[in-house]
Amino acid sequence: MDLQMAEQRVQELHQLLNQYNYEYHVLDKPSVPDAEYDQLIHELIQLEEAFPGLKTLDSPSQRVGGSILDMFEKVQHEIPMLSLGNAFNEQDLRDFDRRIRQAVGDRFTYVCELKIDGLAVSLRYENGLFMQGATRGDGTIGEDITSNLKTIRSIPLRLKDEVTMEVRGEAFMPKKSFESLNQAKVEKGEEPFANPRNAAAGSLRQLDPKMAASRNLDIYLYSIANIGELNIHSHSQGLTYLDELGFKTNKERKTCPTIEEVIEYVDGWVEKRPSLPYEIDGIVIKVDSLDQQKELGTTAKSPRWAIAYKFPAEEVVTTLKHIELSVGRTGVVTPTAILEPVQVAGTTVQRASLHNEDLIREKDIRIGDQVVIKKAGDIIPEVVNVLADRRTGDEMEFSMPTHCPECESELVRLEEEVALRCMNPKCPAQIREGLIHFVSRNAMNIDGLGEKVISQLFAEKLIQDVADLYKLTYDLLIQLERMGEKSANNLLQAIEVSKDNSLEKLLFGLGIRHVGAKAAKTLSQTFGTMSELAKASREELTAINEIGDKMADSIVTFFDMEEVQELLEELVSAGVNMEYKGPKPVSVEDSDSFFAGKTVVLTGKLEQMSRNEAKDQIEQLGGKVAGSVSKKTDLVVAGADAGSKLAKAEELGIEVWSEEKLLEELSK
């Protein structure tokens, strides 16, 4: 390909990729599969490598992250990024309304917008081209984070009009991205981020843009900093113009003629807030008219024409009475704060995770301290900080033990981990937690064998490993407290039924480090039997697409252990199935089914088949069944009483089938 042909193709790729990116990340209506987009971006990168002169600032290839930076340059904001005054209750909102009326009279309207809990940024465009992005900083001077902002795919690198302007918005981390990031950090033994706001800020201040690109951030634009010669006379008109230019704005905004409607809007989002796929911490209320905004003016810190209503803080103060240690099935020793019971977000909280020793040291947490508690994401209780000024001198510093609290084995800290681990495979706590995992729903799914019964059996020394479960008898079970004749027989029946489970259930239940339910199924489909998997080499394992070096090493080490070999022999003797019974995976290329290559979500109650049966059949035909609805979902099957997933599908314009339609397609 010569330069002229390459230049023409690069222009075509720019146009296609920008359009596909806009449809996917701004409109939430993708028109092509991810694989096609990836193929086109790969072609563009190859052309730019072959013809370096064709790489431009607005190239879609710039979103993958550039070279590592030495530091962030300072940026002077031509127009200061002011903070907003706060309202904490209805009276504060009415006082704000009264001040507005005193200044401009009664003829005005408000615009209400969700206050995204993220990082305020400023974007500067010249002749439609994205030139610079910066943090708010102190409002006057921020930091140049252009390279990191380019990795946010909802930020256009070139506008639909060649305008020169500066716009402001809130960069944030969606809840799903936040959960995935924290899960990965926990698995590495690292301290998770406290909230999505901190995660977003930390991501945008990475010196390596590739790291920022991996964090899947998003943005909503909320204002034009310099209206200039633009024919725009209201804030709401400005937001519409941002939409027309290709920016992403939040469509949940509402124009309210009266303060009563503002309060109604606020109250509604207090209730609906948990349903959003991102965090908000309040509502921003602005006077809509730009002329009236100018008339109202600003103070040194904030505009008089806007206010931020802050949601009631779900943070409370209580006393940390004790720190309890627990040993998980992988040997990690986790400290937990035992608290004076307190109400947080509608529930009584008595315990909060402290994660690891480093966090206790960093926050200087002591037994007897008055501490601030909140629910991370309104779900998981955590200690935010200590009220050191309330100390009496009776508080006690806490030190993690050097030996396991359960078996007295010496604790170790593995390389690149902050967690302390007990490495004794015969540690009672690890065995007990491993047994609880073995009988859980995603593993062997033994009905009636919950955590309490397992703990009871273990305490009575009736079980020491998973093979002992298959040696239980009626006479042994009936001796247990609160174990009646019917319960004992039902439990024995459930244990017997579990012997016929397919291999992946057993494999996941054995709790091999790094092997989750999905990997267990992949391994079972690939090797077919436990004996074949046990013989697999590291090279054979890493040749499988989903199996990495760390998992392969863990699998080989597991099956090399003499105790494991003995355990498997006992399970075989007990009649536990060691073969994969499910369907072999069907590749998209080999399947002519409607489901091949499609992502399907099942929601609501299915009447004629279970969800697992539907999942197995769809996967057998080359489809993928996901647990949540997103813009990557191709189809949602809605049974009776379908709830939020159905609503999300309808919102995104995703095709929805009934169970009857699903059965009809499966029977073809």
DSSP 481-537: TT--HHHHHHHHHHHHHHTT--HHHHHHHTT-TT--HHHHHHHHHHH-BHHHHHH--
Give the pLDDT of residue 378: 44
- The conformation of residue 9, written as its DSSP 8-state character, comes to H
Query: Residue 199 has which token pair?
Result: 């995660």
Buried b (16+ CB within 10 A) or exposed e, 632-668: ebbbbbbbeebeebbebbeebebebeebeebbebbee
Q: What's 599-666's CATH class?
A: alpha beta
More confident residue, 378 or 250: 250
Buried b (16+ CB within 10 A) or exposed e, 98-126: eebeeebeeebbbbbbbbbbbbbbbbbbe
**Catalytic site residue from 115, 248, 286, 598:** 115
Tell me what percent of the residues of the chain surpass a pLDDT of 90: 46
Q: What's 503-573's CATH class?
A: mainly alpha
Q: Point out which residues pair with 636 in neighbouring strands.
A: 601, 656
Q: Tell me: the pLDDT tens digits for 532-590?
A: 999 999 999 998 877 888 899 989 999 998 889 999 999 999 999 999 998 766 555 55
Among positive and negative, which fits the CA dihedral 641, 643, 647, 649? negative
Contact 373, 342 (CB under 8 A): yes
- In this predicted structure, the answer to whether residue 197 has a pLDDT above a threshold of 50 is yes
Query: Residue 447 has which token pair?
Result: 């009905």
Between CA 59 and CA 101 the distance in angstroms is 48
For 428-498, CATH gives 1.10.150.20
**Fold (topology level) of 85-310:** D-amino Acid Aminotransferase; Chain A, domain 1 (3.30.470)
Per DSSP (E only), the strands in 99-193 are: 110-116, 119-126, 129-135, 141-143, 165-172
Give the pLDDT of residue 210: 85
**Fold (topology level) of 3-62:** Helix Hairpins (1.10.287)
Q: Tell me: the pLDDT tens digits for 357-376?
A: 888 999 999 999 999 988 65
Which residues of the chain are in CATH 3.30.470.30 domains? Answer: 85-310
- The conformation of residue 325, written as its DSSP 8-state character, comes to E
Between CA 608 and CA 639 the distance in angstroms is 10
- The conformation of residue 378, written as its DSSP 8-state character, comes to T
pTM for this entry: 0.50
More confident residue, 518 or 146: 146
Which residues of the chain are in CATH 1.10.150.20 domains? Answer: 428-498, 503-573
- In this predicted structure, the answer to whether residue 377 has a pLDDT above a threshold of 50 is no
With cut-offs at 50, 70 and 90, classify the pLDDT of residue 617.
confident
In the annotation, is 115 catalytic?
yes
Give the pLDDT of residue 588: 52
CATH architecture of the domain covering 315-397: Beta Barrel (2.40)
Q: Which amino acid is at 169?
A: G
Which residues of the chain are in CATH 3.40.50.10190 domains? Answer: 599-666
Alpha carbon distances (Å) from 613 to 452, 457, 617, 666:
30, 32, 6, 11
Between CA 348 and CA 137 the distance in angstroms is 38
Burial class (CB in 10 A: 0-12, 13-18, 19+), 584: exposed
With cut-offs at 50, 70 and 90, classify the pLDDT of residue 66.
low
Which residues of the chain are in CATH 2.40.50.140 domains? Answer: 315-397
